Structure 1
């Protein structure tokens, strides 16, 4: 059983709310404040206030936005997402892939002949077209077919032609790339060996 607490009783009970039974001078004697005063030469003891730590001139901000900070130029930040290509075998076009979605395998393909200098972030950015306000007639119009510029089609064909040559040099690599891949529950991509 838990120990019982001793009830604290007020020395000056209220007769009515906020009016005590005893006067201020009676409580002065009852509490023994006269003895404390007499002990210290007729004056209440004064305690020196604690020295506060020096406050900084400016209050530090709670939020540090990274945009306001000048950063040195980092060449890797120019093209963070590596370009990837299917190629034509599995129908994946030339595009950028976020690195956290890339699964490294032990399969290697020689891509030293491919020129990848012009495949930077600017190459993959879309041209921002002007937004026009749609009227009633625009809703019923047939949608225009989206097409890539001829330069990008030529680049894709050039990359595919050199990639397919190097892929055909390795046995069973073509069927390996054409096979479907998916992760099921319980499969750990970092432990898989391809």
Structure 2
């Protein structure tokens, strides 16, 4: 009998967690690179002080807590999984024009530059063409087109990585009273000039490659969308 009989093709009768518990793989040997910790004895022998004593007695190594919870406390299970970056689709190569399907710039066409360590894609509009700056996007929310921009030997500076896009955390007042007596919400800082220079440096190389192909700039500037009766799986990009 199968462990998870299908209700309909592709839909199992049992959930993933139920199948996992039935298989019992979690009971198998667990490998670890860390050296095994030395076992501590549950009891120890201590001398009994005093003139009339002078003997020894056995006491527990760790003293039991005086208090205990009235109900069972659930302990979360430790995960041994380590996240790995997603494999890049074969249709996405440096210079490929992508269509964004989600986010603030959905419907815009952008140029793919490289894949970051996190697995996210680094893209640019360029900003001067359609207003899309250097951004990180998930490849699950893009459509790769057959149009490509010949970037040649151009490579993005290594400093533009995942840490480059991390925003500084600004702590505000914790309560409404503190916010009332404060001077108001902190003003947003101006866009850093260093990042503006990085944007111009990347876009200058991309724009030079775009100008080599006629009407490519207008193609990137035009937004994409579906008309009535159109289906994305029936279109060729």
TM-score normalised over the length of structure 2: 0.47
Task: Work out whether 1:155 is the aligned partner of 2:198.
Answer: yes
Query: Which residue of structure 1 lines up, in the alignment, with residue 164 of structure 2?
Result: 123
Give the alignment partner of residue 117 of structure 2, picking from 78, 98, 113: 78
Q: Given the superposition, is the C-alpha separation of residues 136 and 96 from structure 1 closer, same or farther in structure 2, using an over 3 Å criterion? A: same
Query: Which residue of structure 2 lines up, in the alignment, with residue 99 of structure 1?
Result: 139
Deviation for aligned residue 1:142? 7.0
Deviation for aligned residue 1:136? 1.1
SS in 2 for 1:119: coil
> CA offsets per residue over residues 134-181 of structure 1, 9 Å max, x none?
42144x847624422222111111111111100001111011111121
Query: Which residue of structure 2 lines up, in the alignment, with residue 113 of structure 1?
Result: 154
| 8 Å contact kept, 2:85–2:119 | no
Q: How many residues are aligned here?
A: 131
Which structure has more relative contact order (CA 8 Å, sep 6+)? It is 1
| 8 Å contact kept, 1:94–1:156 | yes
Structure with more of its chain in strand, by fraction: 2
> CA offsets per residue over residues 19-75 of structure 1, 9 Å max, x none?
xxxxxxxxxxxxxxxxxxxxxxxxxxxxxxxxxxxxxxxx96xxx95x52053x846
The runs of at least 4 aligned residues of structure 1 exceeding 6 Å deviation read none
Distance 2:141 2:190 in 1: 27
SS in 1 for 2:148: coil
| 8 Å contact kept, 1:89–1:178 | yes
| 8 Å contact kept, 1:79–1:120 | no
Distance 2:185 2:85 in 1: 44
SS in 2 for 1:103: strand
| 8 Å contact kept, 1:86–1:94 | yes
RMSD: 3.1
TM-score normalised over the length of structure 1: 0.56
Distance 2:210 2:118 in 1: 26
